[in-house]
Amino acid sequence: MILPPTPDPVVSAGLFAIFFVVLLLPFLVKRVERNLEAFLFAMGVAAITWDTLFLKLEEGESALLETAPNWNAGLMEKALWDPVPITLAVLIAGLVFHYGRDRFSRGTQRVIGRVSVPVFAALVIVALGLVSSVITAIIAALLLVEIVTALTLDRRTEIVIVVVACFSIGLGAALTPVGEPLSTIVINTKLDQDFWYLFRQIGIYIIPGILALGALGAYLMRQAKPNHRTLSAADGENIKEVGVRAGKVYMFVMALVFLGIAFTPIIFWYIGKAGPEALFWINTSSAILDNATLASAEIAKSMTELQIDSALMGLLIAGGMLIPGNIPNIISAGKLDISSKEWARVGVPLGMMLMIVYFILIFAPVWLR
């Protein structure tokens, strides 16, 4: 796609206005947060329409037939088909979980009775992190809720398990495009890469991170004891709720396709010129802003591999720090009635520690060259 080499002030002003509305309104207005999928869809339509009206592409723009930031058949085909794999994964895994919930709960109780709490915590954190890229982050979070409900530890201890496990799920789900919306958008829409691209690109950071989180969970649980003040979730969802959740995921990813393509000009003109170190720390905003939305606005083919790595790892780590940062946090906190303050007491220090460690791991080899 051939964009004008210099920024267009009208296009830039409109897209930046939509960008900040998308990022801030869900955080500031509860009604928008509760209807996030419909809100993002409306903003995606608005952004593409703005590009169509005001963006003047270079003469002979062949990409108009594909996925240029304009209303065209290629864009609509991409928006309709890109959400299908993750939506089917969510639907199928949701049905399997729905019908196997009782058996899963009984199996969890048997494991709890046979291993120590630290070992159990490590197994849960590592297993859910590794399988989340296959069963989706949503189903991994629902499994986490069931597991924690079966425990009888004190509330504080169980919150620690939940937060550490959600960091692990948020990292692991990014390894494939069926794991979570962020990876779907990055692979299919923003970079147009194959299924295993993110596994090859950032798996070297993510898999050791999941194992380290498991070890950390075991260490933090070493003195855990049974307690009657424990977390618990409401009864399981019905078939209708499984279908509704899959439909919301479809709309969410479609909205991110629109937003990601619409924001291409401001990525090309502004964000793509930021250094990788800056991108890494800028993305601490993912703690309060959905990381998939940020990925749709930031990632572009024009970025270097180091820029992509630093941007993605910043998004994935910071996304675990507060409840709004990613889908597993929202599901787990909502079903287990964990408050924002309770989550932040664990998530913020853990997230900042991980940000510092990963910053060194990512950039030390570059500095030493």
For position 231, what pLDDT does the model report? 62
Evaluate whether residue 6 is within a structural domain. Answer: no
Residue 264: domain span: 76-367
pLDDT digits (tens, 9 = 90+) for 289-318: 677 777 877 887 878 899 899 999 999 999
Residue range 28-32: average pLDDT?
82
9-23, 109-123, 170-184, 205-219, range with greatest mean pLDDT: 205-219
Question: What's the whole-model pTM score?
Answer: 0.78
Q: How confident is the model at residue 63 (pLDDT cuts 50, 70, 90)?
A: very low
Evaluate whether residue 291 is within a structural domain. Answer: yes
What's the domain count of the chain? Answer: 1
Q: Which residues contact 273 (CB under 8 A, 6 or more apart)?
A: none
Q: Which amino acid is at 43?
A: M
Evaluate whether residue 64 is within a structural domain. Answer: no
Evaluate whether residue 25 is within a structural domain. Answer: no
Whether the pLDDT of residue 65 is over 50: the answer is no
Whether the pLDDT of residue 62 is over 50: the answer is no
Q: How far is CA 169 from CA 15, 34, 336, in A?
A: 32, 22, 17
- The structure tokens listed for 80 are 């309709």
Residue 16 near residue 270, CB atoms below 8 Å: no
Evaluate whether residue 37 is within a structural domain. Answer: no
Question: Got the DSSP string for 224-253?
Answer: --B-SS-----PPP-HHHHHHHHHHHHHHH
Evaluate whether residue 41 is within a structural domain. Answer: no
Q: How confident is the model at residue 188 (pLDDT cuts 50, 70, 90)?
A: confident
Q: How many Å separate Cα 226 from the centre of its chain?
A: 33
pLDDT digits (tens, 9 = 90+) for 230-243: 665 555 667 888 88
Evaluate whether residue 296 is within a structural domain. Answer: yes
Torsion of CA 356, 362, 368, 369, to 10 degrees: -160
Evaluate whether residue 126 is within a structural domain. Answer: yes
> How far apart (Å, rounded) are the C-alpha atoms in residues 179 and 165?
15
Beta bridge pairs of residue 153: 226
